[in-house]
Amino acid sequence: MKKFINKPEDFVEEMLEGIYHAHPEVTHVGEDLRCFVRADPVKGKVGLVTGGGSGHLPLFLGFVGKNMLDGAGVGGVFQSPSSEQILDVTRFVDQGAGVLYIYGNYSGDVINFEMAGEMAEIEGIETSTVIGRDDVASSVIGEEHKRRGVAGIFFIYKVAGGASAQMKPLQEVARLAEKASSRTRTIGVALSPCIVPEVGKPSFQIGIDEMEIGMGIHGEPGITRKKLTPVNEMVDEMMARIFSEQEYKTEKEVAVLINGLGATPLEELYVIYRRVAIVLEQAGAKIRHVFIGEFATSMEMAGASISVLQLDDELEPLVALGVNTPFFKHITY
């Protein structure tokens, strides 16, 4: 294992200390560095809370900021934050309008957010929940409730953040966020494994000339492992899964996210996007918004994912809204 760390067991706290030093616009609740919040909560606004394991930056805490999220519970590498940490974040971000939880469909996260929500309700804090389930490779059509949440959760953050910034009430923010969730599809591909610092060895094995389509961001098995193909062929195979669940006859506009998993050069992400744009346009879609870079990583895993959000008149203005967070800035003119 070759990593820029001191002790593996100190990795998360030292990472957080670095972020707090670099970004004074965020802070933590009390003494717990893993209760990550905006330093300037907005009175009367619905609070937006996410959370999940470390190892995925900028996912989760990296999207806490203006016009996006208000707080995040930070777990260990690939581990859920505790219900107590989520509750502490909830108390801090509640500014009188309730709190919306947004997180991926993983058992530990589901259990701990549900517990935190129950405790928050006892304290008089109204909560609602929207779960990211965008990974088309993780379950079949008709069983979408079983799907994992991956990079497409970014679109839920974007829509919920925009709706909350417009001071919409909790149930309306939740409705729009759920709409974004239901209209987002993602599929990924991995070329190499990652190494969790406290484990010290690769999370899985894959041949130097192989790729695995559908692999999850924790190394969960994909749907097919095969010899690496030219990128056009690979993208066509991946997009076929998305096209099986989206059509663009009446609602043509889409937002596209090309996400690197941690070790994929930006140049290669643009090569992937080139083909994605071609096949989407051939399918009748009109690409309205494009986001390319690292949004949900898996430590140093080489690979990428493609997310497509099918827009409508409600969702498009919220995706278009400018945001300012430590790890992501969307500037509008």
CA angle 141, 226, 193 (to 5 degrees): 90
Give domain status of residue 1, yes or no.
Answer: no
pLDDT score for 134: 97
Residues 90 and 228 in one domain: no
Residue at 317: amino acid letter: P
pLDDT band at 50 (very low <50, low <70, confident <90, very high): very high
Residues 228 and 134 in one domain: no
pLDDT band at 38 (very low <50, low <70, confident <90, very high): very high
Q: What's the CA gap between 50 and 147, in Å, rounded?
A: 18
Mean pLDDT of 120-143: 96
Mean pLDDT of 181-209: 95
Give domain status of residue 325, yes or no.
Answer: no
Residues 57 and 138 in one domain: yes
Residues 71 and 90 in one domain: yes
Mean pLDDT of 228-234: 98
State which residues form the domain around 65.
Answer: 8-182
Give domain status of residue 214, yes or no.
Answer: yes
Beta-bridge partners for 212? 190, 225
Radius of gyration in angstroms for the set of CA atoms belonging to the chain, rounded to a whole number: 19
Residues 160 and 210 in one domain: no
Residues 69 and 113 in one domain: yes
- Looking at residue 281, which CATH number applies to its domain? 3.30.1180.20
> Do 128 and 174 meet the contact criterion of CB atoms below 8 Å apart?
yes
Give domain status of residue 156, yes or no.
Answer: yes
Give domain status of residue 327, yes or no.
Answer: no
pLDDT score for 332: 83
- On whether the pTM is more than 0.85, the answer is yes
Residue 3 in this model has a pLDDT that exceeds 90 = yes
Give domain status of residue 326, yes or no.
Answer: no
pLDDT score for 35: 98
Residues 141 and 206 in one domain: no
Residue 299 in this model has a pLDDT that exceeds 80 = yes
* Catalytically active residues, by annotation: 56, 218
Number of domains observed in the structure of the chain: 2
pLDDT score for 219: 87
User: Euclidean distance between the first and final Cα of the chain, in Å?
Assistant: 45
Residue 45 in this model has a pLDDT that exceeds 80 = yes
Give domain status of residue 331, yes or no.
Answer: no
